[in-house]
């Protein structure tokens, strides 16, 4: 069998490795910062984290995403982050069609969703599971498309004593 050059082998692996596995190569801190740039806070604890089997939640009124300290933190953050997108940007409307959801879910996911969620919540939960498996770069491009660009960092305050309404001279480049 012919040997693949390292670059060709990398390309083959990139095609064959599932998207969810590639998402694990992004650090949790990078994902947290990406959500924070978009105006969300990510918390590592909440009283509800004591509930058995709860990995995270989205607190709608406060734009806070909770990731409980168990399981795959990246997956949980992307899943709960998608609930934030559903709530804030889609206003409860689904983004993916039912057929696309069924294709994106494994047999175990379909079984868990049918067992855990009623018909009213199945679509939201299924969509969050499917979206959490996307490559984070395309995930955040879609978030920006649906919700608007990331929130720019606040402008630095002018130095104390600077005259109001006048430019502040800056040095350096």
Predicted confidence (pLDDT) per residue in 134-148, tens digit: 999 999 999 999 998
What rounded mean pLDDT belongs to the chain? 79
Q: Which residue has the higher pLDDT, 6 or 105?
A: 105
Q: How many domains does the chain have?
A: 1
High-pLDDT (> 70) share of the chain, %: 72
Residue 88: give its domain's CATH number: 1.10.10
Distance CA(37)–CA(125), nearest Å, equals: 24
Q: Which pLDDT band holds residue 167 (cuts at 50, 70, 90)?
A: very low
Q: Show the domain range for 55.
A: 18-147
Give the start-end residues of each E strand in 105-160.
none
Question: Which residues 6+ apart lie within 8 Å of 162 measured at CB?
Answer: 168
> Do 103 and 110 meet the contact criterion of CB atoms below 8 Å apart?
no
Domain presence at residue 163: no
Q: Is residue 11 part of a domain?
A: no
pLDDT at residue 169 in the model: 40
Q: Is pLDDT above 90 for 119?
A: no
């Amino acid at each position: 069998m012919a040997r693949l050059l390292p670059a060709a082998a990398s390309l083959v692996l990139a095609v064959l490795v599932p998207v969810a596995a590639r998402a694990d190569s992004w650090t949790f801190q990078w994902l947290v910062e990406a959500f924070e740039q978009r105006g969300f806070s990510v918390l590592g604890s909440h009283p509800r984290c004591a509930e058995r089997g709860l990995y995270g939640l989205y607190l709608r009124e406060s734009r806070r995403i909770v990731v409980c300290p168990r399981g795959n933190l990246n997956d949980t953050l992307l899943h709960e982050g998608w609930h934030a997108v559903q709530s804030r940007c889609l206003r409860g409307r689904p983004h993916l069609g039912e057929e696309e959801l069924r294709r994106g879910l494994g047999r175990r996911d379909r079984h868990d969703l049918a067992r855990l969620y009623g018909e009213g919540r199945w679509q939201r939960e299924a969509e969050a599971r499917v979206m959490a498996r996307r490559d984070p770069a395309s995930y955040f491009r879609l978030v920006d498309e649906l919700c608007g660009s990331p929130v720019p960092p606040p402008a630095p305050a002018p130095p104390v004593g600077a005259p109001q309404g006048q430019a502040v001279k800056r040095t350096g480049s």
